[in-house]
Amino acid sequence: MRTDLDHDTHGLELRPDISAITPPESMTGTVTVHRREIRLVCERLLLVAGVPAGACPGARDFVVDCVERFGRTALDRLGAAFAAGADRPAWTPPRRTGPRAIDAGGQSALLVGAPVLAGALADGPGAPVTIRDLADADLLDAGSLWAAAIGLGLTVTVEGADARVEVLPAAPPVPPSLLGTGIEVPAEVWWPLYYTSNEALSVDTDLSRLHTGMAPPPSGIL
């Protein structure tokens, strides 16, 4: 195996304590973010919160749908959930507590909306499904996008920390997307989300940089 490969680092000295993933000195103004950035950051945040890797794609897609349906409001609430100094969200699965009844355990719909909606849609049209102890319950309305994809409708009635989700046998018109080709988000909202999401990344080491081809092999590693 060759150990004399010429790795072009563009004049930068790369080592584990030097990284481009550092917060900017100023977080003023706005940032235009698109679906791809929102998907990336939301998935990482969910992993940081402990969502199992296998459940993460569906959970991520629901959060993106929340942004699609509610725009910046959803990102503001996501930022509040992961605010510096606040208790970090810790994901636990919702529990079935009876026929058409689900206990969300006090978690935000941004974390458990996907499994809650999966349960409601699995129950199908009929009596409403009662969701107990769910924060940000109004965001469940983003589930109308999921329901419409399978030809169903969805209505959400919020009562304090509880919600009633009724699955309809036909899909009503879907509200227009607020995400479109990108949305303007205050930098002070977006960048903390982005940097918190980086906690889901692997630890930055000489070996990890070698795997990405970004740095010459450390002496003796090969």
Residues 128-173 pLDDT 10s: 999 999 999 999 999 998 899 889 999 999 998 999 999 999 888 8
Residue 107's alpha-carbon distances to 7, 72, 137, 161, 206, in angstroms, are 47, 20, 10, 10, 38
The rounded distance, in Å, linking the Cα atoms of 100 and 117 is 12
> What is Dmax (Cα atoms) for the chain?
69
Position 5 pLDDT exceeds 90: no
Q: Read off the pLDDT band of 25 (50, 70, 90).
A: low
User: Is the confidence at residue 100, as pLDDT, over 60?
Assistant: yes
Note whether 110 and 43 are within 8 A (CB): no
Judged by DSSP in three states, 35 sits in: helix
**pLDDT higher at 86 or 96:** 96
Q: How many other β-carbons are positioned within 10 Å of the β-carbon of residue 176?
A: 9
Question: Would the pLDDT of 190 be above 60?
Answer: yes
- Report how far residue 194's alpha carbon sits from residue 190's, in angstroms, rounded to the nearest whole number: 6
Tell me: pLDDT of 12 over 60.
no
